[in-house]
Amino acid sequence: MTRQATTGRVSNLRLLHEQEGYTMQRYHVLKDGQLIGSAVTRENALVLIRFEQEQEKKAHQWLHANFSIIYGEEEFIDYEQNRGART
């Protein structure tokens, strides 16, 4: 994929995010309570977990992590910049 095609995709996503009330359904993957990534489909989330588990095989056998998948909604919240003095 060319850089131009990538930037075009990013700008399209940015335009979607800027629409009021735009939400995305995502599968969030947590490892020991920390978010390590998100995926559009459950299968992709499982691939992410399997990849992390393969990486863990190189560590000590007592150091196993717990993984969780949470299905949720991401919502764009516009940040209102207040350029006035701090109160």
- Kindly state the percentage of the chain with pLDDT values over 90: 34
* 70: pLDDT strictly greater than 90: yes
How confident is the model over 26-55, as pLDDT tens digits? 999 999 999 999 999 999 999 999 999 888
Gap between the Cα atoms of 5 and 46, Å rounded: 28
pLDDT at 4: 41
Q: Are 28 and 86 in contact (CB under 8 A)?
A: no
- List, edge to edge, every strand of the sheet that includes 67-75: 34-39, 23-31, 67-75
Spatial distance between the Cα atoms of 17 and 78, rounded to a whole number of angstroms: 9
Q: How far apart are CA 14 and CA 56, in angstroms?
A: 35
Q: Does residue 79 register a pLDDT over 80?
A: no
Residue with more model confidence, 28 or 19: 28
What's the pLDDT at 34?
93
